[in-house]
Structure 1
């Protein structure tokens, strides 16, 4: 993983850990104030989140970890309805969403007006409506994981601030989808990793087994497709789009017997 990728992922991870700390702190402070924080029964989380989405009049913030696709899938239609009535809907999801073809099809069919961005860091499932009410799920897996309804103004304000920072460091789903197979391929990933490592063109080209001219041409083409105006910006965009995942380690070859 490149330095740029580590910084982006590390910052988002830090903010999400802070969000969880805020929730735990708020639970301790308001344990006896059920109106501000209310624990839900295990099977009430998704239904309550849909109600929160339907209650929004101005803005919706939605974060999906990607680990509970079937549980959160019913939210997609509700998000689409909200966007259709003029609510600004922003959905931040893990890069793993790209592998969930069914979920992407639901987004295209039922929620085309929703803004979707992708992040490489671990995310905390939650829904926030108009800055007034929200639902957050625990990170535990399984059908019985807990959810919490939040109405504490300070907590909601902090979560919105953390979301804004995470959103600005993420990449639009539409940008990732526009990339060609060439830029998404292994050869392009090797070039991007070499580029982000700070190697000189001569060293990178030699390691990749190509001429310096060919290497530079590939760098220029990838930079252009990423919509970047410099090599540095191309590295940042590649990190945001999840294109700098480490290459799989080579398997050791068995000695001839």
Structure 2
């Protein structure tokens, strides 16, 4: 697809329902995958398997996830009868960081280095072999980084001069309430941590429950600036805020 085609498709899909956006994504691309980690992503899987039963799904195994999250991944795998590819960090690079800086350097130095090794590098290797990917991002998820999220975009964070990567965000205009309405209506599996006050769930050391009326991202990297809470998977969101 050319940039002009992408702009035209974005104009066509702007404000449309998630199923229409998802169907367009799967019609446009064969070599496409869903990135799976949370409730939003399982809603996308639930919709996608009805369109393409063999949809490719992957998840980032950082080595620091909650036990409940690992059980959640298996629950989704079994519920939909689909393979889920687990992407793991480069052990040599990870071992060197842990050896020199310890297991909790992110509390002191910020989360970017650790997320870069445990998540971003793994994702980069995966996306290099895809033409497009599908995320569960929503505009209202982040205080300062996702308000301008489009339904379809060129992924400037992971594209290269030789390889243009397209990213679809079918749930961009949905609220958390709409996600959970779908989960309840269609009996979609969810992470049991949601029953313990967790809303946005990442690695165990960097995630905690939120208090009533707190924003859902308040439980992620709570020791850092609320307007910069991106791990690098969606770095273009930060670029748009500069």
| Pairwise same-fold verdict (TM > 0.5) | no
TM-score (norm 1): 0.24
TM-score (norm 2): 0.25
**Which protein is richer in strand relative to its size?**
1
Higher Cα Rg: structure 1 or 2?
Answer: 1
**Which protein is richer in helix relative to its size?**
1
